[in-house]
Structure 1
């Protein structure tokens, strides 16, 4: 798939979908950068697993909302691998509560990490992506950004905001031949899903036409395709991986 000698940075990739994306891209020959904010041990475990399979990986600490830390990460990656070819804005949090009870702090925190974090990282690595022969910007959003969800006004707003960011940057990157796309997973088999009571999971599954949750591998393989040279004529798109929830 043409990932040899390409450097891919995945924010928030010490666990969940992010770690799955890192493993998928490393398996295809990429130099993978596993970004984390605080969980160094978990990030190193992902990197060790990649190395054991013969892949190339490094870990890089940075809070995606902190411009100085992101700039320091950029230098660290540049020293190790050179310019970044693929940036995947995956880092995100959720602080769920009904809107009538939501505080300004709860709203601001989710917007800051999930949306402003994508801005900060993209701003820092924008020139790398624009100048790369096959530059790729990929934002990880959510079906919640399209449909909304009970108790997730802040999360839905942030994930919806990524659609506009993605499409605008697709226009601005087009002159250089680089692309900007968004992948919007539905409910995926992660630790977050495991924490939901079984009766609620059954209700959610009943609303998915395919009748099941996505696997991390299914989301990661979609990201891998969009990051590949084979997807060079796809830009400004939101790719849904949600089992038909939008039908």
Structure 2
């Protein structure tokens, strides 16, 4: 978290997808600490996401829980309607939902490909479109997309993940251009090898076998810090960028 005593996001409302654990959870708590109300999303892990919502409330912010599949248009509409009903709209969107699957390319099925790219890319498209409709009406906002180092260095056995994450870079730049005059910033954060307990779909990608040049894995809070920084009022001059949080695994 940012460990600041003021609440610069007081009066703001955020949606964080995939917020039941790891980076998503840390971002939801950091936003709450900074004063934002938070819609905490997960696809189906209600118990975990309810626990995160309770943590958000413990930090003095309002929280609402929404379950749904970010690849299903009706689910996304319901998620953002819940945010509108609870908070009056959306000022911040963190597109964190993803599937970190793994399969050798010649064994990868079309269903594998589409299932993974849909969550990462279709989900970001649907959620961004819903959020932007609210942000335009509220006079501005912030979107942060969660990319990954694999989009920039490649990934054996994770071509679907790397391709989808690379697509987020293009989406980030395009939305930044289109909505800059609406006081809306759009950036991408690309984490590298982040430690901690991972989901069952995370896999063990071969390109992640070596340590970052700093000699250690990153911490969840270190990735969350950069995401949160892009949501702060002081970051309004930054848009269309991809920020790498990888300990030097990729240096553009």
| TM-score normalised by structure 2 residue count | 0.91
Aligned length: 243
Q: Indicate if the aligned counterparts of 1:184 and 1:238 stay in contact, CA closer than 8 A.
A: yes
Q: Indicate the SS of the match to 1:191.
A: coil
* Aligned counterparts, 1:175-214, within 5 A: 175-192=181-198, 203-205=209-211, 208-214=212-218
Question: Could you tell me which residue of structure 2 aligns to residue 32 of structure 1?
Answer: 38
Question: Could you tell me which residue of structure 1 aligns to residue 105 of structure 2?
Answer: 99
* Aligned counterparts, 1:34-73, within 5 A: 34-73=40-79
> Which residue, 163, 168, 171 being the options, matches 1:165?
171
Question: Could you tell me which residue of structure 1 aligns to residue 222 of structure 2?
Answer: 218
Question: Could you tell me which residue of structure 2 aligns to residue 246 of structure 1?
Answer: 250
Q: Indicate the SS of the match to 2:179.
A: helix
Would the alpha carbon gap of residues 70 and 175 (structure 1) be closer, same or farther in structure 2, given more than 3 Å must change? Answer: same
Would the alpha carbon gap of residues 193 and 58 (structure 1) be closer, same or farther in structure 2, given more than 3 Å must change? Answer: closer
- 1:62-90 deviation per Cα after TM superposition (whole angstroms, max 9, x unaligned): 21011111111111111110110001110
- 1:144-192 deviation per Cα after TM superposition (whole angstroms, max 9, x unaligned): 1111111100000000000000000000111112111000001112322
> Are 1:7 and 2:13 an aligned pair?
yes
> Are 1:125 and 2:131 an aligned pair?
yes
Q: Indicate the SS of the match to 1:240.
A: strand
User: RMSD of aligned C-alpha atoms?
Assistant: 1.9
Moved over 6 A (4+): 193-197
Question: Could you tell me which residue of structure 1 aligns to residue 240 of structure 2?
Answer: 236
State the shift of 1:203 in Å. 4.1
Q: Indicate if the aligned counterparts of 2:155 and 2:207 stay in contact, CA closer than 8 A.
A: no
State the shift of 1:2 in Å. 1.7
Aligned counterparts of 2:101 and 2:165: Cα–Cα separation in 1: 13
Question: Could you tell me which residue of structure 2 aligns to residue 136 of structure 1?
Answer: 142
Structure 2, unaligned runs of 5 or more: 1-6
Would the alpha carbon gap of residues 202 and 152 (structure 1) be closer, same or farther in structure 2, given more than 3 Å must change? Answer: closer
Q: Indicate if the aligned counterparts of 1:3 and 1:28 stay in contact, CA closer than 8 A.
A: yes
Q: Indicate if the aligned counterparts of 2:38 and 2:56 stay in contact, CA closer than 8 A.
A: no
